[in-house]
Structure 1
Amino acid sequence: MSSVDTIYKVILYPFITESIASLKAMTSLSGSSGDIFMDSVDDFRFKGYAVCSDVTGHLDGVIMMHHYPETAVAIGNSVCENMFDEKYEYTEINDELSNALAEWGNTIVGRSTDLHGRYNLDYKFSSPYFVNNVDDMSKYLKGVREVVTVPIIIEGVGRYYFNLLVRSVNYQSVGIKREESVGIANIHTKDLPSDSTILLVDDSSMIRKALKRILGKLGYDNIIEADDGSTAVEMVKEHNPDFMFMDVVMGEMNGNQALQEIRAAGHNVPVVMLSSVTDQVLINECEGYGISGFIFKPIQADNGTEIIKDYLKIA
C-alpha cells in the first residue's frame, strides 16, 4: 500500500465521509469526493478560507478543510437556510456566515476525530480553528514535506478541498468505516409546562438562536441564555431554571464540567446535553451526573421541532 493510500484510509477518510454526510444533513447541497492526489508543497496556495485541526501522534501536521471564498459563502448561506428555514443571499463572509461555517466545521471535525478515537488510533487532533488571512499560510507550511489533497465537488456550486499537510508520519494500514450517530432519548413522559424557564447553553450564538426559535414554535417563550459552562453554573444559581439544553464542548468550561458543578451544588434541574462529539465515555460521564437525554448535532429546521419536542419531558 502506498503512503498516499495509507494516509487517506487512516486520516482523511473519516473527515471526507463526515463532510459529505454533514453537507446532506446541514445544507440543501450534495457533494462527492474526487480522486486523492499529491500537491506540490512549493506550489500550494491558500484559497481564502480554511477550517484547520493540528494532528499529533503518529503523524505531525495539519488537516485543512479548504474553501474558495465563494464556496464558503454558498455553504454558509445554505447552513443558515436549513437551520432557520429562511432564504439567505449574502455575497461575502460576515459574522452570521462565519458562525454558520464554524458550526458546520465543528460538527465535521468533532465527529471525525471522535471516530478516530473510537478506533484507538495513535493520532490526536486539536480543536478546530479558522484561517482567513493569506499571510497566515506560511507558518502552516513550515517543515511540511507532503501535501495530500482530496477535492469535494458540490453540485451546482463548486468545490472545496481537504488538505493534509504532513511534516512527518509513521505509516499504518488501518481501515476505518463510518458509524451513524443516534441520540439518547428522554425516558420521561410528562410534558414540560409552557410557562417554564428554559436555559440554553452553547458557545454558538447560531445554535442558541435556532433553539430559541424552535422553542418559541412549541410555545416556550421564557428563555434565558449562556455562552459557556461557568456562566451556566451561575445562572442556575441565580435563575433556578426549570429545564436546560447544554452543549458539551465550549470555551471557558465544557458542559460536562458545568453539569458536574450544577449537580454538586444540589440542583436537580433536568438537563439535555448537545454535542457533535459522540464519545461513549463522555456520554456515560454525563449520564452519571443525571441527564434527561443527549442530542447529537446537527439540529435543522426540518426536523428540529420534532426532535426538541421529544426531549421536553419531565418526571
Structure 2
Amino acid sequence: MSVNPLFKVILHPFIKESIASLKAMTNLTGVAGDPFMDKVEDFRFKGYAVCSDVTGSLDGVIMMHHYPETAIAIGNSVCQNMFNETYAFDAINDDLRNALAEWGNTIVGRSTDLHSRHKLEYGFSSPYFVEDLTEMDKYLVGVKQVITVPIMVEGIGRYYFNLLIRDVVEQVANVDIDAQSIDVENTHTTPLPLTSTVLVVDDSAMIRKAISRFLNNLGYHNVIEADDGIGAIEAVKAGKVDFIFMDVVMTRLNGDAALAELRNMGSQVPVVMLSSVTDNILVKQCQKHGISGFIFKPINANNGAETIAKYLKIAAAVAI
C-alpha cells in the first residue's frame, strides 16, 4: 500500500532535521529508508521514545524511538560531542536522558516550526519522553494506520520515525518542505570584559553546563545559572548581571516573556536568545525588546566557544 503524500509531508521535516541534528550533535551519519505502512496489529515499540501529539486536521502521534542500545550509543555521542570528553555509559542514566532530551527537543522544535510557518491545519505538542515499554501501548489506542521510516546510523544501528494516525481530514499539502532557516544580525557592538558576570538561562542542565564551559574556556569565570525565565528575572533583581544567554522555550516562564519583563523593569542588560525553533515571528518579537543576537541550536564543542565569542565580540582564540 502506498503512503499518502500528506503523511510524507508531515514526516519529512522530522526525518530531515533528525539526520541534520545527528550530524551536528554527534558527528554520526544517518540515512533514511523509504516510508512504509506498518500493520497496526503487528507494530511493536522498541524502547526509548520521543513523542509529539498531532492535533487539528490530523489526530495522532509522531514518535522517534530507538532500541535501548541505540539510544545509549547516541546519548553517549551527544555528550562526547558537547563536552569533548569520552562517554561510555552502558545504561540510560540522567546524563543520557538530558542528552537525548536535548537532541529530541532540537529535532521536534525545528520540525514543528517549519510546519507552522506553512500555516498547515495541524499542530504539534511539546515533545515528551517515554522509556517504560508498559506505558507505550496506550499510544496505539484508536490508531488506524502506522507510517514508519527507518533511519540507519553508520556504525551504531537504527532508530525509527512513526506516524500513528487515529483520524485525518484530507488537505492539499503543496508546500516547500525544504525551506531554509532564518538568520539574525548580531547587534552587540563592544567587547564584554572578562570580569563581567554572565547569566546562562536554560531548562536543560546539559546546555547550561556546556555554555558555562565555553564561557570558562573564553576566560569568563563569573558565570551564574538559572533554569527558567523566573530564575533569570530573580537573578537580575538580586545583583549585577552584565550579559545573558537565554533559551526561549522553558518550563515555568519562557525566555521571550522573561525578556519582555526585564525590559519592563528597566533593565537594558544585553541578552542573546537561544532556541532550536527558527520562527520569524518569535525572533521579531524578541528584537522589539532589544536583543544582542539569536543563537539557533545545536551548539557543541566544535563550534560552541566560537559561536559564544562572536556574540561577546571577543576573539575565539582566547580559548586556545
Normalised to the residue count of structure 2, the TM-score between the two structures is: 0.95
Residue 176 of structure 1: how far off its partner (Å): 3.5
8 Å contact from structure 1 (residues 181, 296) kept in 2: no
Q: Secondary structure at the match of 2:203?
A: coil
What are the ranges of 5 or more consecutive residues in structure 2 without an aligned counterpart? Answer: 315-320
1:305 aligned partner, one-letter code: A
Deviations, residues 128-176 of structure 1 (Å, cap 9, x unaligned): 0001011111211110000110000001111000000000012234244
Number of equivalences: 313
Q: After superposition, give the CA deviation of every residue in 1:171-198 in whole Å (9 maximum; x if it has no partner).
A: 2342442234354232333210000000
Mapping of residues 78-117 of structure 1, within 5 Å: 78-117=77-116
SS, match of residue 172 in structure 1: coil
Percentage of identical aligned residues: 65
* Whole-angstrom CA distance in 1 between matches of 2:188 and 2:273: 15
1:156-167 alignment runs, 5 A limit: 156-167=155-166
Q: Aligned pair 1:59/2:32, yes or no?
A: no
Determine whether 1:211 maps to 2:195. Answer: no
Q: Deviations over 1:236-281 (max 9, x none)?
A: 1002200000000001000000001111011110000000001111
Task: Please give the TM-score of this superposition, normalised by the length of structure 1.
Answer: 0.96
Runs of 4 or more above 4 Å deviation: none
Q: Which residue of structure 2 aligns with residue 127 of structure 1?
A: 126
Distance 1:71 1:171 in 2: 35
1:249 has 2:249 as partner: yes
| 2:246 partner amino acid | M
Tell me the distance in 2 between the aligned counterparts of 1:158 and 1:9.
23
Q: Tell me the distance in 2 between the aligned counterparts of 1:58 and 1:230.
A: 35
2:144 and 2:167 in contact (8 A); partners too: yes
Q: Residue 81 of structure 1 contacts residue 88 of structure 1 at CA under 8 Å; is this kept in 2? A: yes
Structure 1 position 10 matched with structure 2 position 9 = yes
Deviates more, 1:183-192 or 1:33-42: 183-192
AA of the residue aligned to 2:133 = V
User: Aligned equivalents of 1:3 and 1:125: distance in 2?
Assistant: 25
Aligned match of 1:288: 288
> Which structure 2 residues correspond to residues 92-241 of structure 1 after superposition, within 5 A?
92-174=91-173, 175-241=175-241
In structure 1, the gaps of 5 or more residues are none
Deviation at 1:3, TM superposition (A): 6.6
- Equivalent position amino acid for 1:215 in 2: L
Structure 1: how far apart are the matches of 2:60 and 2:121?
Answer: 14
Alpha-carbon displacement from aligned partner over 1:200-227 (angstroms, at most 9, x marks no partner): 0000000000001100010000011000
Whole-angstrom CA distance in 2 between matches of 1:283 and 1:35 = 35
